[in-house]
Structure 1
Amino acid sequence: MSDCILETEGLTKEFRGFVAVSDVALRVRRGSIHGLIGPNGAGKTTCFNLLTKFLQPTRGTIRYDGRDITSMKPAEVARLGLVRSFQISAVFPHLTVLENVRVALQRERGGSYDFWRSETLLRRYDARARELLEDVGLSAYAGALAGSLPYGRKRALEIATTLALEPVMMLLDEPTAGMTHEDVDRIVTLVRRVAQGRTVLMVEHNLKVVEGLCDRITVLTRGKVLAEGDYATVSRNPEVVAAYLGSDAPAHA
């Protein structure tokens, strides 16, 4: 079994002549937490969309767990265990917290009409849903409407629904964006916990979070890989400092 669970070669995406991602070679080690960072407009979310097949690459290849997934559709790669969250919090606001997780669990039925199944039939998923809510610290909110949750707890609910899909690898797009310090600490603890036995690739702007969580980091700028390594290595790289702070920034910044 390969040490890398996700690999790309020459990954490129062009939009009518604009190159958003250019010749990206990414290697994500199995069982690691890998950070994808860079200044605004670096191509991080476009790269995520390519990896999870919401966009098709202009050229290049993507291999996941030894399989070429370059031409697959989003639902197909999700079924293989490659599951993502999104930058903007997405929950069913008028369903309870428990019902949100239960919707994700219902995928095993393989049908498209489970919203119209009897409540009794769907309650078979409640025990597992409560376990997942316990995992993300939301047990006390099981009966609350998802739309009433504060932002940080909505992000935790998203992670619970992601876990309901039984991911082998999770892609988290800015999991701490817009959060208070208290919520950031809670999500960091949560990500560290759910990463046990899984691989995580995360886009994150908060470099303190990246430093505390990530085993390895890939830095993008203008769609290209600028640097790669552990946090200590990339944070001392003068090119990385310049990309974040401007070309005249001193390296010690």
Structure 2
Amino acid sequence: MPEDTILSTSGLTKEFAGFTAVNGVDLKVRRGSIHALIGPNGAGKTTCFNLLTKFLAPTRGTILYNGRDITREKPAEIARLGLVRSFQISAVFPQLSVLTNVRIALQRKRGDNFDFWRSERTLKSLDEDARRLVEAVGLSSFQALTAGELSYGRKRALEIATTLALDPEMLLLDEPMAGMGREDVERIEALIRKVSKDRTILMVEHNLSVVASLSDRITVLARGQVLAEGDYAAVSKDPRVVEAYIGSGGGHGHH
């Protein structure tokens, strides 16, 4: 396995009753890159993502992370190894403040139990780290608000902050821009670019203009198989990709 590959799959397959959702996918994600998984609706992107993050067990095939076989590992175990998924499972507590949400995520990373109140010093250092993360995602002026009071795009920024609190080596983003207006999309796009500086990102994303501007490499899935791979310029010109998107009525879901 080449040094610079952080995550790879070989022959990754998921069959549901009478239906193959993911069919023999070989994926290689280069360390330090932003890699996008795209494709029309029903292409198997979400299933593929769920296999990588261990929410589903593959029917066949293997998944390697940093050269280690994680095919049978549990989600909590791969999170400990540094492979962390954001958004759909992030625990953001709507009734707690932005800062408190980030601090709780930092405590989880440390595996602290909740008698942390005892040590004033621990609390102070957690607060400093939490403030730094809140600032990193552009939420400093909102840190006293409860998470529930934030706009949709800013909630997403908070979710990224709580994910970064776990200090992932590789971040998996499931449709980070879904349901966002243009201003929010631009803000989250800038945020993803910023947090990608010292980590690897794999994202499923419908918004192709985001994919075009953010991704180093793109894997296009159609009917559960890899249709094409390369940078945006290459895959967007590939006649099979054009056909797959047009043939499925655009396949942009909500865009």
TM-score (norm 1): 0.92
Q: Secondary structure at the match of 2:226?
A: strand
Q: Secondary structure at the match of 2:229?
A: strand
- In structure 2, C-alpha distance between the alignment counterparts of 1:210 and 1:131, rounded to whole Å: 28
- In structure 1, C-alpha distance between the alignment counterparts of 2:203 and 2:13, rounded to whole Å: 19
Q: Secondary structure at the match of 1:36?
A: strand
Structure-2 change in CA distance of 1:72 and 1:149 (3 Å): same
Equivalent residue number for residue 190 of structure 1: 191
Establish whether residue 105 from structure 1 lines up as the match of residue 109 from structure 2: no
- 8 Å Cα contact 2:37/2:204 also seen in 1: yes
- In structure 2, C-alpha distance between the alignment counterparts of 1:117 and 1:220, rounded to whole Å: 46
- Identify unmatched segments of 5+ residues in structure 1: none
Q: Secondary structure at the match of 2:187?
A: helix
Q: Secondary structure at the match of 1:153?
A: helix
Equivalent residue number for residue 24 of structure 2: 23
Deviation at 1:108, TM superposition (A): 3.9
Equivalent residue number for residue 222 of structure 1: 223
Equivalent residue number for residue 129 of structure 2: 128
Q: Secondary structure at the match of 1:26?
A: strand
User: For residues 136-151 of structure 1, what are the structure 2 equivalents within 5 Å?
Assistant: 136-151=137-152
Deviation at 1:87, TM superposition (A): 4.6
- 8 Å Cα contact 1:89/1:154 also seen in 2: no
Q: Secondary structure at the match of 2:193?
A: helix
Deviation at 1:245, TM superposition (A): 1.0
Deviation at 1:89, TM superposition (A): 7.2
Deviation at 1:117, TM superposition (A): 4.9
Q: Tell me which amino acid in the other structure corresponds to 1:234.
A: V
Equivalent residue number for residue 237 of structure 1: 238
- In structure 1, C-alpha distance between the alignment counterparts of 2:241 and 2:133, rounded to whole Å: 38
Q: Secondary structure at the match of 2:161?
A: helix
Deviation at 1:248, TM superposition (A): 10
- 8 Å Cα contact 2:90/2:163 also seen in 1: no
Number of residue pairs matched by the alignment: 247
User: For residues 33-182 of structure 1, what are the structure 2 equivalents within 5 Å?
Assistant: 33-87=34-88, 91-111=92-112, 113-114=113-114, 117-118=116-117, 120=120, 122-182=123-183
Structure-2 change in CA distance of 1:125 and 1:41 (3 Å): same
- Identify unmatched segments of 5+ residues in structure 2: 251-255
- 8 Å Cα contact 2:109/2:166 also seen in 1: no
Structure-2 change in CA distance of 1:14 and 1:52 (3 Å): same
- 8 Å Cα contact 1:8/1:25 also seen in 2: yes
- 8 Å Cα contact 1:242/1:248 also seen in 2: no
- In structure 1, C-alpha distance between the alignment counterparts of 2:44 and 2:101, rounded to whole Å: 31
Q: Secondary structure at the match of 1:6?
A: strand
* 87-96 vs 219-228, greater mean Cα deviation: 87-96
- 8 Å Cα contact 1:101/1:129 also seen in 2: yes
Deviation at 1:17, TM superposition (A): 2.4
Q: Secondary structure at the match of 2:242?
A: helix
Q: Aligned-pair RMSD on alpha carbons?
A: 1.9
Q: Secondary structure at the match of 2:29?
A: strand
Equivalent residue number for residue 13 of structure 2: 12
1:136-155 CA-partner distances (Å, limit 9, x unpaired) = 10011111000110000011
Q: Tell me which amino acid in the other structure corresponds to 2:201.
A: V
- 8 Å Cα contact 1:36/1:217 also seen in 2: yes
1:172-225 CA-partner distances (Å, limit 9, x unpaired) = 111111111111110111000000011100111000000000000000111111
Equivalent residue number for residue 253 of structure 2: none
Q: Tell me which amino acid in the other structure corresponds to 2:213.
A: G
- 8 Å Cα contact 2:87/2:160 also seen in 1: no
1:48-99 CA-partner distances (Å, limit 9, x unpaired) = 1111111111110000011111010001000111011135875210111111
Q: Tell me which amino acid in the other structure corresponds to 1:74.
A: P
- 8 Å Cα contact 1:89/1:155 also seen in 2: no
Q: Tell me which amino acid in the other structure corresponds to 2:12.
A: L
